[in-house]
Amino acid sequence: MVKLPRTPPDSLTITEADLTDWTGPMVRIHGTVGAHALPWWRLRHYGPLPTRFEPHPAPIGHHPDAAVMYVAGSFDTALAEVFQATRTVWAAAPHRPYLAVWQPTRALRLLDVTGTWLLRNGAPHALNTGPHNVCRAWARAIAAHSARVDGLLYISSMTGAPAAALFLPAADAFPESPQLSMPLTHPGLTGAIRAAARRIGYPVA
């Protein structure tokens, strides 16, 4: 079995061919109260938290030069990722989750870790689903490598569909207003939530 190197190589090779443009809508479900609650358009400078692609260096705290936001390419993937701990969609969760959908104002240049880039840099495709502490080490190295990289395009470990971790250079690509921003408890989302929950196999609380 090919193992995922715990430490990235000192010199990563990132070419234009390794970058892909994300121009379509981005979907995010985010808390609006509690620890680390942020507006739909703001990346999180506090970290690293125990999630997969945190670019923040140690120790845990506020890092002005590092930030992250996790987004999905579909509502199904956003729900599956956010509620993966309980595998239950809880629209009225205490952190008051909101759904936000927006179109970036420019093409986001994302390093595609779903293809052969990992293999050419000494790692298998398992980085998409590997141990979070190892993935964080790679995310730090990638974020430090080039200001051209707005983030990572990866495969959701829950749905196998595209998702992205946006880094600090992506902060200038948010529009003034999102296409959609509303609480998951909004009656207008009830049908969409139930349909998506059926597709991913999660019950609705």
Q: What tokens does 127 get?
A: 């980085």
| Dist. CA 202–CA 85, nearest whole Å | 11
Residue 94 DSSP label: T
Strands 151-155 and 108-112 come out as: parallel
pLDDT in the model for residue 4: 77
Confidence of residue 84 (pLDDT cuts 50, 70, 90): very high
pLDDT-derived band of residue 123, with 50, 70 and 90 as boundaries?
Answer: confident
For a pLDDT cut of 70, what percent of the chain falls above it?
99
Strands 98-102 and 68-72: unpaired
H or E segment at 31?
Answer: none
Tokens of 202: 């999660």
- 8 CB neighbour count, 10 Å cutoff: 20
Percentage of the chain with pLDDT > 90? 85
Q: What is the pLDDT of residue 1?
A: 44
Buried b (16+ CB within 10 A) or exposed e, 62-98: ebeebbbbbbbbbbbbbbbbbbeeeeebbbebeebbb
pLDDT of 2 higher than 60 = no
Task: Tell whether the model's pLDDT for residue 198 goes beyond 90.
Answer: yes
Q: Give the tens place of pLDDT for each residue, 54-72.
A: 999 999 999 999 999 999 9
Is residue 149 scored above 90 in pLDDT?
A: yes
- Structural domain boundaries of the chain? 17-200
